[in-house]
Structure 1
Amino acid sequence: MINLLIMAKCLSSICAVNHVVVQGTFLQGVVAMPARRALQKEKIDSLEKLSDYSEDEIRQLHGIGKNAMERLKIHMREHQISFRN
């Protein structure tokens, strides 16, 4: 039983380091579902992929409004990532 607990702790730390994302949960709790669907449609499922786009490119996606854009910028800033210039 103790071995299982140790293994679970090790696996959870690996997942946290590798930013493993379960399908449909990227940015859950950060932006609303329409914005998440817009990003998913463009196959943007990580902050690294999001940083390959400019603010204007993301803003033009259907489902990304002012509020979603502001929340994205704050969330990216918290993770030391920014949009492409």
Structure 2
Amino acid sequence: MAKCLNSVCTDDHIVKGNFLQGIVAMPARRALEKEKIDSLEKLSNYSEEEVMQFHGFGKNTMKKLKDHMKANNLIFKDR
């Protein structure tokens, strides 16, 4: 029998802050945290193409993110 079902892997993937909580899913939030992106201002230094390369980002997530950035008067940088 297994000693414990609490995997070390899941403990390592807990997002520490609440940046974009409720806006985008956990895989995308973890990818941003991995890249040290913890604010919309930092995110605006990236192009859409760069962000789409991160794990967890697809068309739906990008649309949500762009809408949220627009509501906060920010946009992605040009290529």
Aligned length: 63
Deviations 1:14-37 (A, max 9, x none): xxxxxxxxx420000000001101
1:43 aligns with 2:39: no
Given the two structures, how large is their TM-score scaled by the length of structure 2?
0.77
Given the two structures, how large is their TM-score scaled by the length of structure 1?
0.72
Q: What is the 5 A alignment of 1:18-33?
A: 23-33=16-26
Hey, what does 1:15 align to over in structure 2? none
Greater helix proportion = 1
2:48 pairs, out of 40, 55, 76, with: 55
In the TM superposition, structure 1's runs of 4+ consecutive aligned residues that sit over 6 Å from their partners are: none
Q: Note the C-alpha offset of 1:66.
A: 1.2
Identity percentage of aligned residues: 65
Show structure 1 runs of 5+ residues with no match.
1-22
RMSD: 0.7
| Structure with bigger gyration radius | 1
